[in-house]
Amino acid sequence: MTSPSQELAEVVRTERRRVLATLVRTLGDLALAEDAVQDAAVAALLTWPRDGVPDDPRAWLTTTARRKALDVVRREARRPDKEAGAVRDLTPPADDLPEPSVVDDDLLRLVFTCCHPALSTEAHVALALRTLCGLDTTQIARLLLVPEPTLAKRLVRARRKIATAGIPYRVPRAAELPERLAGVLAVVYLLYTEGLEQDELRAESLRLARLLHGLMPDEAPVQGLLALLLLTEARAAGRRDGTGALVELPDQDRARWDHALVAEGAALALGALRRSADAPDPYALQAAIAGCHATAATWEATDWPSVVALYDALLARTGSPVVALNRAVAVAERDGAAAGLAAVDAVTGLDGVPVLHAVRGRLLRRLGDEPAARASLERALALQPSDGERRQLERLLAAPVTA
Amino acid sequence: MPQYAAIIYSAADVDWTGPEQGAVMADYGAFGQAAAAVIRGGAALRETATATTVRVTGGKGGDVVVSDGPYAETKDVLSGFFLLECADLDEAIAWAAQIPSAWHGAVEVRPVLPMTG
What total of structural domains would you count in chain A? 5
Does residue A41 surpass a pLDDT of 60? Answer: yes
CB A20 within 8 A of CB A14: no
Please give the ipTM for the structure prediction: 0.85
Using CB atoms, which residue from B86, B87, B89 is nearest to A118?
Answer: B89
CB contact under 8 A, B88 and A170: yes
CB-defined contacts A:B, below 8 A: 27
Whether residues A309 and A355 share a domain: the answer is no
CA distance B95 to A110: 23
Q: Where are the alpha helices (DSSP H) in A96-219?
A: 100-114, 121-127, 137-144, 148-165, 177-194, 199-215
Q: In chain B, which residues have their Cβ closer than 8 Å to the Cβ of A161?
A: none
- Indicate the average pLDDT of chain A: 89
Q: In chain A, which residues have their Cβ closer than 8 Å to the Cβ of B92?
A: 166
Does residue A176 surpass a pLDDT of 60? Answer: yes
Whether residues A316 and A342 share a domain: the answer is yes
Find all residues with CB under 8 Å of A342, minimum gap 6, and list them.
Answer: none
Whether residues A343 and A355 share a domain: the answer is no
Whether residues A280 and A320 share a domain: the answer is no
CA distance A353 to A379: 10
Q: In chain B, which residues have their Cβ closer than 8 Å to the Cβ of A83?
A: 116
Whether residues A248 and A289 share a domain: the answer is yes
CA distance B96 to B102: 7
Query: Which of A166, A285, A176, A161 is closest to A220 using CA atoms?
Result: A285
Q: In chain B, which residues have their Cβ closer than 8 Å to the Cβ of A118?
A: 89, 93
Q: In chain A, which residues have their Cβ closer than 8 Å to the Cβ of B96?
A: none
Domain that holds residue A112: 102-165+177-196
Q: Is residue A130 part of a domain?
A: yes
Handedness of CA A116, A122, A126, A132 (dihedral sign): positive
CA distance B49 to B12: 12
pLDDT tier at A346, thresholds 50, 70, 90: very high
pLDDT tier at A194, thresholds 50, 70, 90: confident
Whether residues A308 and A327 share a domain: the answer is yes
**What DSSP designation does A297 have?**
S
Domains and CATH numbers, chain B: 3-111 (3.30.70.1060)
Whether residues A181 and A239 share a domain: the answer is no
The mean pLDDT value for A283-303 works out to 95
Q: Other CB atoms closer than 10 Å to residue B63's CB: what's the count?
A: 8
Does residue A121 surpass a pLDDT of 70? Answer: yes
Interface test with B, best of A109, A119, A164 (most B CBs within 10 A): A164
pLDDT of residue A135: 86
A336: left (phi over 0), alpha (psi -120 to 50) or beta: left
pLDDT of residue A86: 45
Whether residues A335 and A273 share a domain: the answer is no
Nearest chain A Cα to B93, which residue? A118
pLDDT of residue A386: 84
pLDDT of residue A205: 93
CA distances from B37 to A316, B34, B77, B86, B92 (A): 43, 8, 27, 10, 13
Using CB atoms, which residue from B4, B89, B116 is nearest to A167?
Answer: B89
Residue B44's DSSP bridge partners are B80
pLDDT in tens, B50-68: 999 999 999 999 999 999 9
Q: What angle do CA A259, A262, A268 make, to 5 degrees?
A: 150
Whether residues A114 and A133 share a domain: the answer is yes
CB contact under 8 A, B111 and A166: yes
Q: In chain A, which residues have their Cβ closer than 8 Å to the Cβ of B4?
A: 166
Whether residues A145 and A187 share a domain: the answer is yes
CB contact under 8 A, A167 and B92: no
Q: Is residue A65 part of a domain?
A: yes
Whether residues A366 and A380 share a domain: the answer is yes
CB contact under 8 A, A166 and B89: yes
CB contact under 8 A, A170 and B92: no
Interface test with A, best of B86, B89, B91 (most A CBs within 10 A): B89
pLDDT of residue B18: 87
Whether residues A36 and A21 share a domain: the answer is yes
Q: What is the CATH number of the domain that holds A137?
A: 1.10.10.10
| First CA to last CA distance, chain B | 16
Q: In chain A, which residues have their Cβ closer than 8 Å to the Cβ of B109?
A: 165
pLDDT of residue A84: 47
Q: Is residue A203 part of a domain?
A: no
For residues A234, A239, A240 and A242, what is the CA-based torsion angle, rounded to 10 degrees? 70
pLDDT tier at A92, thresholds 50, 70, 90: low
Q: Is residue A264 part of a domain?
A: yes
Using CB atoms, which residue from B87, B111, B116 is nearest to A165?
Answer: B111
Q: How far B90 CA sits from the closest chain A CA (Å)? A: 7
CA Rg value for chain B: 16
The mean pLDDT value for A93-116 works out to 82
CB contact under 8 A, A168 and B116: no
Return the H-helix or E-strand segment holding A338.
Answer: helix A337-345
Q: How far B20 CA sits from the closest chain A CA (Å)? A: 33
Q: What is the 3-state secondary structure (H, E, C) of chain B?
A: CCEEEEEEEECCCCCCCCHHHHHHHHHHHHHHHHCCCCEEEEEECCCHHHCEEEEEECCCCCEEEEEECCCCCCCCEEEEEEEEECCCHHHHHHHHCCCCHHHHEEEEEEECCCCCC
DSSP string, A239-259: SB-TTS-B--GGGS-GGGS-H
pLDDT in tens, A234-286: 999 898 888 877 788 988 999 999 999 999 999 999 999 999 999 999 999 99
Find all residues with CB under 8 Å of B108, minimum gap 6, and list them.
Answer: B5, B6, B7, B9
Q: In chain A, which residues have their Cβ closer than 8 Å to the Cβ of B97?
A: none
Exposure of A136 in the CB half-sphere (CA atoms within 13 A):
7
pLDDT in tens, A127-143: 999 999 888 899 899 98
Q: Where are the alpha helices (DSSP H) in A79-132?
A: 100-114, 121-127
Query: Which of A400, A321, A325, A332 is closest to A357 using CA atoms?
Result: A325
**Single-letter amino acid code for the residue at B30:** A
Q: Other CB atoms closer than 10 Å to residue A182's CB: what's the count?
A: 14
Using CB atoms, which residue from A83, A164, A168 is nearest to B90?
Answer: A168
Q: Is residue A309 part of a domain?
A: yes
The mean pLDDT value for B91-96 works out to 96
Query: Which of B72, B105, B111 is closest to B93 using CA atoms?
Result: B111
Using CB atoms, which residue from A83, A168, A172 is nearest to B89?
Answer: A168
pLDDT tier at A1, thresholds 50, 70, 90: very low
CA B84 to chain CA centroid, Å, is 11
CA distance A307 to A331: 9
Using CB atoms, which residue from B87, B89, B116 is nearest to A165?
Answer: B89
Q: How far A400 CA sits from the closest chain B CA (Å)? A: 58
